[in-house]
A and B are shown apart, each in its own frame.
Chain A
Amino acid sequence: MSDRMTQSRGLLLALLLLAAVLVLAGPLFLDRFTMNVLTRSMIYAILALTVDLLWGFTGILTFGQSAFFGAGAYATAMVLTHLGGAPEHFVLAFVLAIAIPTLLAALVGWLSFHQGATPLYATVISLVVPIVMTQLIFAGGQSTGSSSGLVGYPTLALGAANHFRLAGVVLIGFGCLAWVFVRSDAGRMLVAIRDNEMRAAYLGLRVQLVRILLMTVLGGVAGFAGFLLANAARMVAPEIAGFVFGTQLVIWTALGGRGTLLGPVAGTLGIDWLGAKLSGELPFLWQLLIGAIFVVMILFLPRGLAGLVPRRRHQGTPPELVAIPTRRRADAVGPVLSVRGLGKSYGSLHVLESIDLEVHRGELVSLVGPNGAGKTTMMRCLSDGTEPISGSITVLGRDIGGLPPERIVRLGVGRKFQLASVFESLSVADCLRLARMSLDRPSLLRRSRRIGLPAPAIDILRLTGLDGMLNQRAGLLSHGQKQALELAMVVALEPELILLDEPTAGLTKAERAMIGGVLQRLSGELGHAVILIEHDLDFVRIVSQRIVVLHQGRMVMDGTVGEVVDSDLVRAIYSGAANA
């Protein structure tokens, strides 16, 4: 481990100790009012952290965390009001305060995240949930106290000082857990989903499931915070479950700095505490000020106050690339890919018509044809079973109709996009880790020091010099390097069938030759099946064994390199004469 890393660890540990001391010793020197306010603020800060994990890290703008918080607080208050304050009732209240919001969050997650849902849809749902929750509370009559809330129920008899300590300890504990998680291998998935959902899905990551799980767990955390508040504040009111409180959480998170962990905590503590202090003297001006600062921040400082702190180059020694043995491929008989009568149309426009194709192990098939011939559309149909098509596509004997991309990747299909598609804000090493996550279960706690990759993926990295840039942010790579990185990521999936859409576009001649060599090795030596879209007929001639020619959505030729390249038909198509 490098000195720098030890140093930053030491700094964090010191910070942690300081926080712990402040939280434990705070009641000794804080006045009663400040202590009560800060107890509440710290509970809110837990919520802000959940908002931040969802929005700042994963890109799901949510106004709904207040609903789960309210559900937890009301579950607690209702149990204690209606059943009484015996020890077993506190246990019951605690269990329900976590269980109900967890279940609710799972339901909301299922509703919000599904194949083809836009990010906006999750936001829409997150607006509806707190509204429903508030209306249910209003409609609850005696049991929920309706608009006046519940008050005067038995609470944990800790005293104000210990409530302060409890809230502080929970906040620090959850903050540490969140810190460990977002830095772990699994935690990189959140940022990957935020950066490039499509690439994540095409690496076999179950994007929607990850989001649902995250929302479920964080719903439970919000419920726990609700339990704390119901005990510390000794009252619950409908506002805490409402949409306006939900937006407030987002504002605190944004002002402190989304995508950081300290930012939202600092933002919440600072604003809630200042607000309580100042709102007595200038009630409306304070809100006005917060609103105005918020607008200005969103416009000019989207990263919040944390954006003022320069980003540390925190990465120490780069991880180590280790070649792992390639998986033994099941020696199943039959073709890797079999396409029967594939057709695809948009209304009356037929993009693909009655395509039949079989691709076997060890074959490198080039798909050529002029622009608009339907090549990329065909790739999309092969890798996304939810595309409406006619005919059938089977991969390794399995019909892929209706399967989402991540399932097809897990069947053994890797796809490289036409435009280089990587995770811009992650490092090269993290991009490669993500490529392996559908195969090697990632750790929730640790960040691995070694990245195990199949040999051909390492070859690509070596040949392009990317192996020396593992700590570089992927967004800063050159176009050619991004192409190579994406190719290495796809190869790291060890797919039976590799789909490559112009992998050499924008590369230099030397780089093309290098990629060509890798492709030949993948198909020839290692037995992968490869389908390659390529315009450069010289390149195609060198690397492929078979060429398929598409023209106006139909397959017009399927033959060996010699047959196709020298045919008059191909010349005619490329010179435009066959359009008539």
Chain B
Amino acid sequence: MVLVLDSLTTAAVLFIVSSGLFMIFGVLQIINFAHGAWLGLGAYATVVTTALGVSPWLALPLAFVVGGVLGGLTERLVVRPLYARPLDAILATWGLGIVIGQLITLAFGRDVQMIPVLMTGTVDVLGTAYSAYRLTAIAIALAIGLGFVLALERTRLGLTARAVIMNEALARALGINTARVRLATFMLGSAVAACAGVLLTPLTSVDPNMGVIWLIGCFMLVMVSGSSVRALALACIVFGTAQVAVGTYVSPILGGMTVAVLCALMLRLRPKGFAGV
């Protein structure tokens, strides 16, 4: 039972953490290697709320705003000139990630931060006591996933975003301001990533470079998912389960690389990954 819950919650966490990167890659086809830095920023929003003595939940709106603004600046200044050079965009955003990581270090020091957890206690699930927060993560992941699907299929931004994904030249010819769609997407993706950073704080230690550890896993999951939310959800569940299984039965250290290795193999055998499943 614990294994099933672990698998589900791990999948949920992976989904939450990947979603910001996924948005940006899905629409812009740009791999944002500053994603790890957004996660870090979000986590430090919790440090700020703690210092101010307010509820750690308030870190969420703070992270959303900070992430969004910085995301907007990033798109404008760094990413926009590089749409034609996608490999260089990876490098430039990675460089940006270094800068943000060091700025956080300068502001808060390089030590691990102690933060009050968002939620404590356990819940009894069919006779097993389980962390309430990890269960909440499932709900949050579902909410984000549903939000994506609804946003893409029901809103005007979603419609234009889909148009840009399918055929950007045509979208522009039809009078869609693709530059604005890109800006909005990048801002939203960064904001969601920063919020994911807040949500990560109870699960991982908070230090300036915490995001880097998550970056590769997220990146690989997004690679096998393409532009499909369902594919991302499926990938998180399958590989999250595999990670828990390897971590439990083989070695916790090897469990940490399960997602990356399986994704790489999957792309070799099936270049489209889960897209189109």
Contacts and interface: CB of A to CB of B under 8 A. Distances in A.
A139 B254 contact: yes
Contacts of A285: 102, 106
B119 interface: no
A284 B271 contact: no
B153 interface: no
B254 A61 contact: no
Contacts of B59: none
Contacts of A128: 216, 220, 257, 260-261, 263-264
A404 B150 CA distance: 43
Contact of A121 (B85, B101, B256, B271): B271
A284 B96 CA distance: 14
Interface stretch (A220-228, A229-237, A286-294, A305-313): A286-294
Interface string B62-76: 000000000000000
Interface in B47-88: 78, 81-82, 85-88
A231 B188 CA distance: 50
Contact of A135 (B90, B253, B271): B253
A124 interface: yes
Contacts of B220: 124, 127-128
B99 A288 contact: yes
Given A128-B264, A284-B105, A291-B102, A298 B256 contact: no
Contact of B264 (A124, A288, A291, A294): A124
A291 B95 contact: yes
B72 to A, nearest CB: 16
Contacts of A119: 87
B3 interface: no
Contacts of B105: 284
Contacts of A116: 271
Contact of A132 (B101, B223, B261, B268): B261
A299 B90 contact: no
Contact of A295 (B99, B106, B256, B271): B99
A429 B85 CA distance: 28
A480 to B, nearest CB: 26
A294 B95 contact: yes
Nearest to A133: B257
Given A294-B98, A298-B92, A298-B95, A138 B253 contact: yes
B84 to A, nearest CB: 11
Nearest to B105: A284
Nearest to A247: B94
Given A127-B216, A288-B103, A291-B96, A254 B91 contact: yes
Given A139-B253, A299-B82, A302-B88, A292 B99 contact: yes
B86 to A, nearest CB: 7
A251 interface: yes
Contacts of B268: 111, 114, 121
A57 to B, nearest CB: 14
Given A131-B257, A291-B99, A124 B223 contact: yes
Contact of B219 (A127, A247, A251, A295): A127
B123 interface: no
Interface residues of A, number: 37
A244 interface: yes
B136 interface: no
B78 A295 contact: yes
A432 B264 CA distance: 38
Contacts of A138: 253
Contacts of A121: 267-268, 271
Report, as a range, how many residues of chain B touch the other chain: 35 or more
A123 B94 CA distance: 14
A243 interface: yes
A131 B102 contact: no
A124 B217 CA distance: 11
A83 to B, nearest CB: 25
Given A135-B256, A243-B216, A288-B99, A123 B261 contact: no
A295 B96 contact: yes
Contacts of A131: 216, 257, 260
A92 B228 CA distance: 50
A291 B95 CA distance: 5
A125 interface: yes
B47 to A, nearest CB: 17
A61 B110 CA distance: 30
B23 to A, nearest CB: 18
B251 interface: yes
A287 B253 contact: no
A120 interface: yes
A40 B264 CA distance: 32
Contact of B102 (A61, A118, A124, A284): A284
Nearest to A147: B253
Nearest to A254: B91
B58 to A, nearest CB: 28
A132 B212 contact: no
B267 A124 contact: yes
Contacts of B219: 124, 127
Central interface residue in A111, A288, A298, by most chain B CB within 10 Å: A298
30 contacts: A61-B91, A111-B264, A111-B268, A114-B268, A117-B271, A121-B268, A123-B87, A124-B219, A125-B264, A128-B216, A128-B220, A128-B264, A135-B253, A138-B253, A247-B94, A284-B102, A287-B98, A287-B101, A288-B102, A288-B103, A288-B106, A291-B98, A291-B101, A294-B92, A295-B95, A298-B88, A298-B95, A299-B81, A302-B85, A302-B88
Interface of B: 31, 78, 81-82, 85-88, 90-92, 94-99, 101-103, 105-106, 110, 212, 216, 219-220, 223, 251, 253-254, 256-257, 260-261, 263-264, 267-268, 271
Given A119-B87, A131-B216, A298-B95, 9 more contacts: A111-B264, A128-B263, A135-B253, A139-B251, A243-B216, A284-B105, A288-B99, A288-B102, A298-B92
Interface of A: 61, 111, 114, 116-121, 123-125, 127-128, 131-132, 135, 138-139, 243-244, 247, 250-251, 254, 284-285, 287-288, 290-292, 294-295, 298-299, 302
Q: Identify the 4 closest CB pairs spanning chains A and B, nearest first.
A: A291-B98, A294-B95, A288-B102, A295-B95
